[in-house]
Structure 1
Amino acid sequence: MTEPRLLDATLLRDFPLPRHNEDGDKEGRGRLLLVGGSAQLPGAAVLAGVAALRAGAGKLQIVTARSIAAQLGVAVPEARVIGVDESEEGCLAESAIDTILRWAREARAMTLGCGLQHGPPLDALLDSLLASEIEIPLVLDATALGSLAERAAPLREWRGGAILLPHAREMARLLRRAPDDVAADPLASARTASERFGCVAVIKGARSFIVAPDGRSFRFEGGGVGLATSGSGDVLAGIVGGLAARGADPLTAVLWGVWLHGEAGRTLSRAVGRIGFLAREIAPLVPSLLPG
């Protein structure tokens, strides 16, 4: 089995992002549907949504709990925010599923999980989504990852291409392995996840690994310990979703997303300090790192 290729600016020349003409409009840069946020974690949807726009998505639509929809609309005025009912557990209610599927059919990519709460309604949403005939890139992060272990077969059949963005503890739950086993060989875990779920699988950490369904693998040496901060993963999920909305294939979106996130972290480490910068400070640096 070949060693993973180093993810750096040189490698990214082999994975160009879609270019957008100067006379293009926002529809040409795609719509991202972000399903996330809850009364307990409203900021996760803000971080992911802003990051998607900074990555160049033309339109952002957020489906979130009705109780926080107005606040999210103010926090991210560029987005269309759709409020839906919540269950008693604080999860999006099953009554929201039809609304989410309707908006997903109009989107070019979808990010699911940032700030959501665990519960049967989330499982029902995933079952309905994976059984649908929607064919767009699907970025799965955070809470959504905890519901996937028993849904490997339908996820393999997802025709738009899916992306998993776990850290080591989430990967352990995803694969139903001991955390120490994942930590001992994160690349092997990413390979197992990619094969089992038919997805581009990432395992985030000081050194991140990316594995594509065709077996290609990559390593990123990390953007510094400062990126190990609350909300950083939501920003990454938003960047990847935004790039996918622009038309990047799942592997290209992930490679660029991991690199942009890491390079922004390196920049902040130099400008602010090795630790102590905030997740909200990552996304504003992304446009200057994107190719012209």
Structure 2
Amino acid sequence: MKEPRAVDADLLKRFPLPRHPDDAGKEDRGRLLVVAGSRELPGAALLAGTAGLRAGCGKLQIATAASIAVQLGIAVPEARVIPHRETEEGCIDESEIAPLLKWAKGAQAMLLGCGLQQGAPLEKLLDALLASGIDIPLVLDAAVLSKLAHRAEPLKAWQGGAVILPHAGEMASLLGREREEVEAEPLAAARNASERLGVTAVIKGEYSFIVSPDGEAFRYRGGGVGLATSGSGDVLAGIVGGLCARGADPLTAALWGVHLHGEAGRKLSASVGRVGFLARELVDLVPRIMGGGA
């Protein structure tokens, strides 16, 4: 089995991002649908959505809990905010599944999971989505990750391709293993998840590993311990989603997303401090680091 290739500038030249001419409109850069946030975790939707815009998507739609929709619309005036009803536990109400799928049909990529509350309606949404035949890239994170193991076949059949972004604990839950096992062999865990689910699997850590559905593996030397902070994963998910909306395939979006997120962390470690910088501070560094790749 081949050793993973390093994610660096030379590698990324082989995985170029879509380029957009100066006369391109926002429609040409794609629409990202972010289904995220809840009463307890409204910031997850804000971070993921803003990161998608900073990654260059042309339009942002955020489907979120009605209780936080107005506030989120003010905080992210660039977004169209789509409120949905909630259960008493704060989960997406089952009656909202059909409308959410209609919004997904009009998007070029969809991010699902950041800041959502788990529950039966979320699982029904995931099942309905995977059975819908919609052909766009999916970025799956946080609340939905532990629900994927029993949905391997429909996920493998998803035509648009998918990216999963677990940390070691989430990967352990997905694979039915102990966290210590995953931490001891993160690359093996990423390979296992990618093969089982037919997705591009990212496992985050000091070294982040990315494995494509065909078994190709990559390694990124992390951006520092400061990235282990609340909201950091939401930013990464949003970057990957934004790149997919622009037209990058899931593997290219994952490689660039991990690189952009990590390099932003590296820069903040130097300018702010090794620890203590905020996830929201990562977002504004993304366009400059992306540079010529945009």
TM-score range, shorter chain: over 0.9
Find the counterpart in structure 2 of residue 43 from structure 1: 43
Partner residue of 2:89?
89
- Where does 1:232-271 land on structure 2 (aligned, <5 Å)? 232-271=232-271
Aligned length: 292
Aligned-partner residue type, residue 162 of structure 1: A
Measured on the aligned residues, the alpha-carbon RMSD in Å equals 0.5
The code of the aligned residue for 1:136 comes to I
Q: How much does 1:89 deviate?
A: 1.3
Q: Is the CA contact 1:35–1:111 (under 8 Å) kept in the aligned structure 2?
A: yes
Question: What does residue range 214-225 of structure 1 map to in structure 2 within 5 Å?
Answer: 214-225=214-225
Query: Which runs of no fewer than 5 residues in structure 2 stay unpaired?
Result: none
Q: Following TM superposition, by how much is the alpha carbon of 1:183 offset from its aligned partner in structure 2, in angstroms?
A: 1.1
Matches for 1:1-292 after TM superposition, within 5 Å: 1-292=1-292
For 1:53, the aligned partner's letter is L
One-letter code aligned to 2:90: G
Cα deviation code 1:165-219 (max 9, x no counterpart): 0000000000111111111100000000000000000100011100000110000
8 A contact 1:149–1:173 mirrored in 2: no
- Identity among equivalent positions (%) equals 69
* In 1: Cα distance, 2:261 partner to 2:16 partner: 17
Q: Distance in 2 between matches of 1:8 and 1:167?
A: 21
Contact kept? 1:194, 1:201, Cα under 8 Å = yes
SS of the aligned residue for 2:205 comes to coil
Q: What CA distance in whole angstroms lies between the structure 1 residues aligned with 2:281 and 2:291?
A: 20
What runs of 5+ residues in structure 1 fail to find an aligned partner? none
- Displacement of 1:122: 0.4
8 Å CA contact 1:38–1:117 kept in 2: the answer is yes
CA contact 1:223–1:264 (8 Å) conserved in 2: yes
Secondary structure, in 3 states, of the residue corresponding to 1:276?
coil
What secondary structure does 1:2 align onto? coil
Please tell me the residue identity of whatever aligns with 2:167: H
Deviation at residue 245 of structure 1 after TM alignment: 0.3
Paired letter, 1:250: P
Could you report, residue by residue, the CA deviation over 1:74-116 in whole angstroms, capped at 9, with x for unpaired residues?
Answer: 0100000000100121111111111110000000000000000
Deviations 1:18-69 (A, max 9, x none): 0000000000000000000000000000000000000000000010011110
CA contact (8 A) 1:57 1:245 kept: yes
Residues 123-167 of structure 1: CA deviation (Å, up to 9, x unaligned): 000000000010000000000102112111111111100100000
Report the AA paired with residue 164 of structure 1: I
Separation of aligned partners in 1, 2:150 and 2:125? 14
Query: Which amino acid in structure 2 is aligned with residue 60 of structure 1?
Result: L
Q: CA deviation at 1:291?
A: 3.0
C-alpha separation between the residues in 2 aligned to 1:93 and 1:175?
28
SS in 2 for 1:282: helix
- State the distance in 2 between where 1:67 and 1:229 align: 26
Distance in 1, matches of 2:44 and 2:198, equals: 27
Matched residue of 1:263: which SS? helix
Distance 1:215 1:291 in 2: 29
Amino acid corresponding to residue 67 of structure 1 in structure 2: S
